[in-house]
Amino acid sequence: MSKIVKQEMMGMNGDTACAYAVKQCNPEVVAAYPITPQTIIVEVFSEYVANGEVTTEFIPVESEHSAMSTSIGAAAAGARAYTASASQGLALMYEMLYIASGLRLPIVMTCVNRALSAPINIHGDHSDAMGARDSGWLQLYCENSQEAYDTIIQAWRIAEHKDVLLPVMVNIDGFILSHTLENVSVIPDDAVKKFIGEKKIPVVKKPNGELTPYILHPDYPASIGAIDLQDYYFEHKRQQAEAMNNALKVIKEIGEEYGELTGRTYGLIDPYMMDDAEIAIIVMGSTAGTAKYVADLMRNKGVKAGVLRVRSFRPFPRDDIVKALKNIKACAVLDRSMSFGSYGGPLFTEIRSSFCYECDKPIIVNYYYGLGGRDAPPNLLDNVFNELKNIAETGKTGEEIRYLGLREGEKDAVNYKAELVSFKDLNTGKIGGK
Amino acid sequence: MSEEKSWREIPMGGLTWLHSVEYKTGEWRSFRPVVDHDKCTRCMQCVIYCPDIAIKYKPDVNMIEIILDHCKGCGVCAEECPVHAITMVKEKE
């Protein structure tokens, strides 16, 4: 393929890679509030604004709730709007996330994945994005900074596609990607401009057959976000479900088109050595890179190990995942967030239910790992492959829900438990005190 | 609401395209303001207070007019009228 565009290698961390991609996309509005570990995106982008390298209206808002509100207003008026957040910031955006998707506004956001308080923790896990998994946003999880850069550029095309028209959240692991220097191949500004193209405004048909643009525009009076009760709300939600389903096809198409331009093709899933694999790790985000490295080591030892990275969690590529895993004997789903009280993590429950009606299904176990930025080094993933090997050989599943890299301690230790006392006992010094 | 349409037949996102004046929101009303034009001093307090901009002063006839298509019967005008020229009566009367 000679169509591949000339590229330049730059040393960038994940945040800078996102900011650089946004600079090249030059959206009309960026509204953001800084929060660790997303801060660098906002800092770097505000420098681009100050240097006149973009024509973006940069709005340093007073909170993340306002950041998303501003993005919604801008997008409703026909602008390309970008924001970025993490953890508590994303949590503060929560109600506005649903409004962005419900109003079908193609906003692009980077979520630099970080644990949620309490206890307070600034490091990477997927709890923040998983809290927003049902908000109607597309969620793409990146393995490295290169993919973060590439995905931001693709995100506009996916979000603004006429069959989708939904906001896109590009997820990168906090610190592991956001603050780690990496070689990133960047494509020229004009190639980005050409790829994302001019912003188009959706035109919809009224029930009487007349056309009307979906925009807040003085020449086309309309209300966006009017009340919608028992009679029509359900129908509008069904439309969102349809748009999400359409996104499955669109993410693939745009990923392939981007591949023709850059030589880097993206899809819904990223299978690694899966063709003849017998055991596999299924994971999202940066840990996939470590898992691929460990799979290579296992292959050197003659073990048929593979890795299936899920890039698109929303929409969930059920068919692709089932197809990729159909010849696997045993696999481990790694979840970097907890859905407290559920039977397994969010990725695990969804992958397992995907196999509910399949005749050939692998043994699937779940590992919680990396919460609060806890390291997932090669030796831990090596343990996972070894345990999978054992499960595949014996056919014995053992514990289905497991914890990776957690200190289990002595079984009879009870310090994590509490006893209750009355205020009277406190006041009379029964348990010490001053 | 006329015949209810399916999800395939309506525009996305709950878009509504009429000017808000064209939506008759007065249907919710259970009490209706009635103006006693003899008592009314044309002080315009009701015009200012009406949260729905449903009261207009008509200079050609020098009178207050309540636009019942948009009045929701909240009663703020009757409460604020300094000369008690507005009374709320049951919608059905």
Whether residue B17 and residue A221 make contact (CB cut-off 8 A), yes or no, is yes
Q: Does A219 touch chain B (CB under 8 A)?
A: no
CB A357 within 8 A of CB A326: no
Q: Does A223 touch chain B (CB under 8 A)?
A: yes
Instruction: Please give the class, per CATH, of domain A274-403.
Output: alpha beta
Res. A121 pLDDT band, cuts 50 70 90: very high
Res. B24 pLDDT band, cuts 50 70 90: confident
Can you tell me the mean pLDDT for A4-12? 96
Q: Where are the domains of chain B?
A: 12-90
pLDDT of residue B11: 92
Count of A–B CB contacts within 8 Å?
65
How far is residue A359's CA from residue A333's CA, in Å, rounded to a whole number?
A: 20
From the CA of A155, how many Å to the nearest CA of chain B?
20
From the CA of B6, how many Å to the nearest CA of chain A?
7
Res. A406 pLDDT band, cuts 50 70 90: very high
- More confident call, B4 vs B78: B78
Cα Rg of chain B (Å, integer): 17
Q: Is the pLDDT of residue A1 over 60?
A: no
Q: Which residues of A touch B17 (CB under 8 A)?
A: 206, 212, 220-223
pLDDT of residue B2: 58
Q: Is the pLDDT of residue A341 over 90?
A: yes
Residue of B3, B6, B17 to mutate, testing the A interface (most A Cβ within 10 Å of its Cβ): B17
Strand partners, A112: A172
Residue of A216, A223, A230 to mutate, testing the B interface (most B Cβ within 10 Å of its Cβ): A223
Q: Which residues of B touch A231 (CB under 8 A)?
A: 1, 4
Q: Is the pLDDT of residue A169 over 60?
A: yes
Of all residues in chain A, the one with the smallest CA distance to B13 is A103
Q: Is the pLDDT of residue B77 over 60?
A: yes
Domain B12-90 fold is Alpha-Beta Plaits (3.30.70)
pLDDT of residue B21: 80
Whether residue B15 and residue A231 make contact (CB cut-off 8 A), yes or no, is no
Whether residue A207 and residue B17 make contact (CB cut-off 8 A), yes or no, is no
Domain A8-262 fold is Rossmann fold (3.40.50)
Q: Is the pLDDT of residue B18 over 90?
A: no
Minimal Cβ distance to A222: which of B1, B7, B16? B16
Can you tell me the mean pLDDT for A389-413? 96
Can you tell me the mean pLDDT for A31-51? 97
From the CA of A230, how many Å to the nearest CA of chain B?
11
Q: What is the pLDDT of residues A51-78, one digit of tens each?
A: 999 999 999 999 999 999 999 999 999 9
First vs last C-alpha separation in chain B: 25
Local structure of A368: helix, strand or coil = strand
Q: Is the pLDDT of residue A342 over 60?
A: yes
Q: What is the pLDDT of residues A230-281, one digit of tens each?
A: 999 999 999 999 999 999 999 999 999 999 999 999 999 999 999 999 999 9
Whether residue A205 and residue B11 make contact (CB cut-off 8 A), yes or no, is yes
Of all residues in chain B, the one with the smallest CA distance to A103 is B13
pLDDT of residue B1: 46
Res. A422 pLDDT band, cuts 50 70 90: very high
Res. A414 pLDDT band, cuts 50 70 90: very high
In chain A, % of residues over pLDDT 90: 92
CB B69 within 8 A of CB B24: yes
CB A96 within 8 A of CB A69: yes
H/E stretch holding A184 reads strand A182-186
Q: Where are the domains of chain A?
A: 8-262, 274-403
Of all residues in chain A, the one with the smallest CA distance to B6 is A235
CB A41 within 8 A of CB A300: no
Mean pLDDT, all residues of chain A: 96
- More confident call, A329 vs B21: A329
Can you tell me the mean pLDDT for A15-36? 98
Q: Among A7-16, B20-29, B71-80, B84-93, whose mean pLDDT is lowest?
A: B20-29
Q: Which residues of B touch A214 (CB under 8 A)?
A: 11-13, 15
CB atoms within 10 A of CB A92: 18
Res. B15 pLDDT band, cuts 50 70 90: confident
Whether residue A235 and residue B7 make contact (CB cut-off 8 A), yes or no, is yes
CB A66 within 8 A of CB A74: no
Local structure of A310: helix, strand or coil = strand
